[in-house]
Amino acid sequence: MGILEVKDVNKRFGGLKALSEVNLSVKENTCHAIIGPNGAGKSTLLNCLVGKLIPDTGSVMFDGQSVLGRTPHEINQMGISRVFQTPEIFGDLTVMENMMIPLFAKRDGAFRMHAYESVSAERALIEEAEAMLADVKMLDKRNMHSASMSRGDKRRLEMAMCLIQKPKLLLLDEPTAGMARADTNNTIDLLKEIKSKRDITIAIIEHDMHVVFSLADRITVLAQGTPLVEDTPEKIKGHPKVQEAYLGEAH
Amino acid sequence: MLGLEKKDFTLLLIVFALTMLAPFLLNPFPEGSAMAQFNAGYPDLMQRFVIFGIFAIGFNILFGLTGYLSFGHAAFLGVGSYAAVWMFKLLSMNVLPAIFLAVVMSGLFALLIGFISLRRSGIYFSILTLAFAQMMFALAYSVLTPITGGETGLQLALNDPRILGTSATATGNIPVPSLFGLEMRTTADLDLGAWGFTFNVGYYFCALVMLVAFYLSIRIFRSPFGMMLRAIKSNQQRLNYTGLNPKPYTLAAFVISGMYAGLAGALMASMDPLAGAERMFWTASGEVVLMTILGGVGTLIGPVLGAGAIKYMENIISKINSDILHTWFAFLPDGLEDFVVAMIYPFIGKGWHLTLGIIFMLVVIFLPGGLVEGGQRIARALRGRKTTDDSGKSAKTEPAE
């Protein structure tokens, strides 16, 4: 049994069958990549995992519990954190505040009325946030207005915000989309470091084969809403069906 | 000190000093001089400064932090006023129970209206709150006349039951609001040469309440709760995927700001024990939006400054008439004098709205951060160094030193 079990998931948008009979099993402490050409249903599948969409049929079990019918914040509280294609951070807040919010969410749950306490009195959480910022080499930017940072820094910050919650599963939605080669390589290094340092399961949706083959332990190829094949990176590289459906096209 | 960081505590001390010394500061011109009409140090106006200051401080907790623009906050002010007057009629002329009931009632109304309105965001939220406020105004004006007094408003009468007080004073008058016997209208005058200063119990009571309200708003701004509210304004999507539920946070902010409005309404009724439906009219809701934006959205002190600026203009500029203009420009040749007066006339008296509108436009275009940003720019220019540091806004908080 994997930590994430997707069984017979179907999702239709009007006449379009976005997902049909998707089965997926992500093992604990592995990095599982989901690849496929545009329109293969990768994003739809991801949105079904995080509560943004509800599949028409099928089940999604995370850590022994169903995620279906739960809202995104409930699913996050179960232990799934998500990194977006374009970094989603709190742009009006400082880097440090961006780090404090996931810490409060982790400690206090989805809502707590703490209107009289002071943020600056939370020494333990501040230290934790500082340690994480030091980890991703952003401690010097702690008081920066986060919207004014470069895209690469925003991406690092977003990852740090997700990791500080110590999620059981980290979902990455095309984390290097639109990035320059150098930034992409930095992101790969960052993810490799995360993988080696922590016990964490990563599910990654990615277009860039370079990223996928550098990181993934297992790869699922999705085409027209159905998993075509699932295997190790080495096997996937040489797989004729994959060549035909995907690699032959753009790469 | 008081659980505040040094910068915030200094701000609180400044506001404390300004409010306590207001009777002096607002009366800088000697009585009888030509400038005396710019004096604002009379009790009625000073009370309005601090009461609308409270209203705007509360509104800023919702609008400044979460970005949800309510266009119906005057409804809670009205609810507070009605509740307070009913307390005067039924229980006693002590202002404390009146304020208590007003805050509770406005909180309950805010809970109901907020629960429904917050199902939408952006312009739809604004329209929903506006609709609710206008509905309440219409109800108060017509069908609810037995409770609200309808067109004439809710007033005290000689035959009010007043369980813990007297229906009428020994001289046969309606008793006046008081704090354990200390009447709100009590004033003391101080004459220093040509200058006259008035100290009013009601003003100082309102000022102390405002200081408490201001202190609580600083605590909220610096709390994890306040940080969540700013996060809601910044990126609700990220907040959702960070395991936080924005709905109870926005609702709590809505209720808190509704209670601030109710408190302001209760103080209005305490200064002058009557309540009318016009307090809930949409222009009253719009006024608090103007105050907050003019002063500086999301800043601590901005709403108070905005409230003061607007109430000052409403009361002082509107008092200037063409006769006064003629005395000012009497030194000019006749034809020119008439011309200058004719040019300025549209901006004074009843035309003060025009002046307000122009100032508001100038502020929004050139000082998006309101008067607070203006003050910061002046301070920076005086210090002679141009910094690009925009974290100087008093709303910005850093969790660590």
Q: Which of A88-102, B301-315, B343-357 has the lowest mean pLDDT?
A: B343-357
- Identity of the residue in A71, A94, A117 whose CB atom sits nearest the CB atom of B224: A117
Contacts of B249 in chain A (CB under 8 A): 111
By residue count, chain B amounts to 401
Min Cα–Cα distance to chain A from B372, Å: 18
- B282-295 and B302-316 helices, crossing angle to 10°: 120
- H or E stretch including B41? none
CA distance A118 to chain B (A): 4
| Structural domain spans, chain B | 6-30+39-282
Residue A247 — pLDDT band, cuts 50, 70, 90?
low
Of B234, B240, B248, the CB nearest to A111: B248
How many Å lie between the alpha carbon of B83 and the closest alpha carbon of chain A?
A: 26
Phi, psi of B338, rounded to the nearest 5 degrees: -60, -40
Res B385: pLDDT: 59
* Inter-residue contact A152 to A65 (CB < 8 Å): no
Partner B, chain A 47-86, Cβ-Cβ below 8 Å: 50, 71-73, 76-77, 81-82, 84
Q: Give the per-residue pLDDT at A246.
A: 62
Q: How far apart are CA B349 and CA B16, in angstroms?
A: 32
A8: contact with B, CB 8 A cutoff: no
pLDDT at position A207 is 79
pLDDT tier, B394 (very low <50, low <70, confident <90, very high otherwise):
very low
The pLDDT assigned to A1 comes to 77
Using pLDDT thresholds of 50, 70 and 90, give the confidence band for residue B165: confident
Rounded Cα distance, A169 and A147, in Å? 27
Cβ B243–A105 below 8 Å, yes or no? yes
Q: What is the pLDDT of residues B115-141, one digit of tens each?
A: 999 999 999 999 999 999 999 999 999
Q: Does A124 touch chain B (CB under 8 A)?
A: no
Question: Would the CB atoms of B240 and A71 count as touching at under 8 Å?
Answer: yes
CATH architecture of A4-79+167-250: 3-Layer(aba) Sandwich (3.40)
Helix (H) / strand (E) containing A211: helix A209-215
**Count of alpha carbons within 13 angstroms of residue B120, beta-carbon side:** 13
What's the token pair of residue B210? 């405002």
Q: In A, which residues are within 8 Å of B228 by CB distance?
A: 101, 104
Give pLDDT, residue B395: 41
**Which pLDDT does position B365 carry in this prediction?**
93
> Shortest Cα distance from A136 to chain B (angstroms)?
19
Side-chain-side CA neighbours of B114 within 13 Å: the count stands at: 24
Instruction: Check residue B328 and give its pLDDT.
Output: 84
Domain ranges for chain A? 4-79+167-250
User: Is a pLDDT exceeding 90 seen at residue B319?
Assistant: no
CA torsion, ordered A212, A217, A223, A227, to nearest 10 deg: -170
User: Whole-angstrom Cα distance, residue B186 to residue B200?
Assistant: 6
Chain B contact for A90 (CB, 8 A cutoff): yes
Per the listing, tokens 């004074």 go with B348
Can you tell me the distance from the alpha carbon of B369 to that of B258, in angstroms, rounded to the nearest whole number? Answer: 24
Rounded mean pLDDT of A227-246?
81
B-interface mutation test, from A53, A62, A97, most B Cβ less than 10 A away: A97
d(CA B347, CA B332): 20
Nearest to A106 by CA among B225, B228, B243: B243
How far does B399 lie from chain A, in Å, by closest CA? Answer: 5
Cβ contact A119–B223 (<8 Å): yes
Q: Is the pLDDT assigned to residue B397 strictly greater than 50?
A: no
The string of DSSP codes covering B299-351 is -SSHHHHHHHHHHHHHHHGGG--HHHHHHHTTTS-HHHHHHHHHHHGGGSGGG
**Res B391: pLDDT:** 43
Maximum CA pair distance of chain B?
A: 73
- For residue B309, the model assigns a pLDDT of 94
For A97, nearest residue in chain B (alpha carbons): B399
pLDDT attached to residue A250: 47
Instruction: Tokens for B97, please give them.
Output: 């129970």
Question: What average pLDDT score do residues B226-252 get?
Answer: 96
Q: Quick one: closest CA in A to B231, which residue?
A: A90
Stated length of chain A:
251
- β-pairing, A57-62 vs A65-66, is antiparallel
Q: Does B223 touch chain A (CB under 8 A)?
A: yes
At B307 the pLDDT is 96
Contact A167/B at CB under 8 A: no
Q: Grade residue A219 by pLDDT with cuts at 50, 70 and 90.
A: very high
Choose among A73, A100, A117: nearest Cβ to B240: A73
What number is the average pLDDT over the span B103-114? 97
Read off the pLDDT of each residue in B341-346 and give the average, rounded to a whole number. 88
**Helix, strand, or coil here: B321?**
coil
pLDDT, position B218: 96
Whether the per-residue pLDDT at B352 is higher than 70: the answer is yes
**Chain B: closest CA distance from residue A242 (Å):** 33
Express as a percent the part of chain B with pLDDT over 70: 96
Question: What is the average pLDDT across B187-204?
Answer: 91
Residue B151: pLDDT above 70? yes
pLDDT single digits (tens) A52-80: 999 999 999 999 999 999 999 999 999 99
0.85 surpassed by complex ipTM:
yes
Say how far residue B184 (Cα) sits from the centre of its chain. 19
